[in-house]
Structure 1
Amino acid sequence: MANTPQAKKRIRRNDKRAEINGARRSRIRGFVKKVETACTEGDKQAAQDALKVAQPEIAKGVAKGVIHKNTASRKMSRLSKRIAAL
């Protein structure tokens, strides 16, 4: 249990940040899911459009520290590869 005011504030801050980061991560997952769904349906144009929207969101996640740079790069690469295979 936190005893100092500093530790109590840190707990409050961590809880708040965890909620915000979770929402950001969920938002990124939603955009990635749209690309994957379009790929599954075989709609190349829709998949390309969805990827154009998803890429800035993934990049924003990196900038905000929600996901690692290499993870974002890997996701974008794999999505691009799937679209190219259509």
Structure 2
Amino acid sequence: MPEKYLERVIHHPVLTLRYFKNTSRRPVAPLRVVVSSKVAKKATVRNLIRRRIREIWRQLPVPPNLGVALYTKTAILDKSFAELKAIITHLSEQLH
């Protein structure tokens, strides 16, 4: 990858977070959430997980020009909203 898209990865039993600092002039999506059909077969469950993650991320202070992709794992199905918020907050603190 070019230096302007240097990517980093943070692993967790529930999520994998990939992020890169965008130094180019092209805008990047602030957050991409990937919930595979291997995680949950029903689309309503996958959408619930996406909505929860987006709401938690919206409330966090995230550096500008940072592209983030969150990849979920099957362990996320057992987590409550509060547990998920604690996990994502902990991961976002490692971005700074």
- Please say whether Structure 1 and Structure 2 have the same fold, judged by a TM-score greater than 0.5: no
Higher relative contact order (CA closer than 8 Å, sequence separation 6+):
2
Structure with the largest fraction of helix: 1
**Which structure has the larger Rg?**
1
TM-score, normalisation: structure 1:
0.31
